[in-house]
């Protein structure tokens, strides 16, 4: 399984990265499967530097804040208005309840039919796995001030029989669901939007570097990759404080970089 960081800027696109968007790809049964975790604003352009849009097998949304879903509006245009027609079937989109209505409202469309001609909308059921190709995605409720925020645990069955696990925190503060979703993960892609000392008094919205490190240590993950870092937050401060509790491999996500899980 490969993880490509399309966008990792927290809350809005930064000068060096779009907002949240992560491409997972894996070989299985003679072809490459590709899923997208979140498609935040600014991500659709850089995504095309890595894959043709028609090769997306599924889009998985952690929650419905614009920096995590808004570029689905652009993907709708690509599907609907491609001059030679879209060569694939409707793209499956999994997200919180009301994802279809939120997208229609964002684009100023009547929700009936909205974007249903382009996307096959599906609602997450907490802890109920969804499988596409080699990927099994399990949504686990977490702690963020929006309806139905989820961490996404992705298990990938390799052709040699091994299973690799990536957990994406979505947006969350410390909570039991985050530890549950990340338990024993090979790679923990974890948000750390709040800077230690400066923001640590805020509760129930985002993690600091220290709280991300504590979650990674509690879940015993093999690798911690900090992400969703706003332009005003210092990555080195996050790493320093995460290291207080987490002893494993630790780094910061960089847009355009591909990691092997």
Q: What's the whole-number average pLDDT of the chain?
A: 97
Identify the pLDDT of residue 29. 87
- The encoded tokens of residue 41 equal 């604003």
Q: What is the mean pLDDT of residues 3-19?
A: 97
- The encoded tokens of residue 174 equal 């410390």
pLDDT per residue over 221-243, tens digit each?
999 999 999 999 999 999 999 99
Identify the pLDDT of residue 218. 98
Task: Give the span between the Cα atoms of 207 and 256, in whole angstroms.
Answer: 23
pLDDT per residue over 175-200, tens digit each?
999 999 999 999 999 999 999 999 99
Three-state DSSP state, 44: helix
Cβ–Cβ under 8 Å, residues 207 and 190: yes
- The encoded tokens of residue 135 equal 């990927």
Q: What is the mean pLDDT of residues 76-87?
A: 94
Identify the pLDDT of residue 58. 98
Fold of 2-260: Metallo-beta-lactamase; Chain A (3.60.15)
Identify the pLDDT of residue 159. 82
pLDDT per residue over 120-169, tens digit each?
999 999 999 999 999 999 999 999 999 999 999 999 998 888 999 999 99
Is this structure's pTM higher than 0.75?
yes
């Amino acid at each position: 399984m490969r993880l490509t960081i399309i966008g990792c800027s927290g809350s809005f696109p930064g000068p060096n990265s779009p907002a949240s968007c992560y491409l997972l790809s894996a070989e299985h049964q003679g072809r490459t499967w590709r899923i997208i975790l979140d498609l935040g604003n600014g991500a659709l352009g850089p995504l095309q530097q890595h894959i043709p849009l028609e090769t997306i097998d599924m889009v998985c949304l952690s929650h419905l804040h614009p920096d995590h879903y808004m570029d689905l509006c652009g993907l709708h245009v690509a599907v609907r208005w491609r001059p030679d027609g879209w060569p694939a079937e409707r793209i499956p989109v999994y997200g919180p309840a009301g994802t279809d209505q939120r997208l229609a409202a964002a684009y100023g469309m009547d929700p009936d039919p909205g974007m249903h001609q382009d996307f096959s909308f599906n609602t997450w059921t907490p802890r109920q796995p969804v499988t596409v190709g080699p990927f099994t995605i399990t949504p686990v409720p977490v702690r963020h001030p929006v309806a139905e925020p989820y961490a996404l645990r992705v298990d990938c069955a390799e052709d040699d029989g091994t299973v690799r696990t990536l957990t994406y925190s979505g947006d969350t503060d410390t909570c039991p669901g985050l530890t549950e979703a990340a338990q024993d993960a090979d790679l923990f892609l974890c948000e750390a939007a709040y800077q230690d000392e400066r923001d640590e008094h805020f509760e129930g919205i985002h993690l600091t570097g220290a709280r991300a490190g504590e979650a990674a240590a509690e879940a015993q993950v093999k690798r911690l990759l900090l992400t969703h870092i706003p332009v005003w937050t210092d990555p080195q401060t996050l790493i320093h404080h995460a290291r207080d509790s987490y002893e494993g491999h630790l780094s910061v996500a960089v847009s355009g970089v591909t990691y092997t899980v």
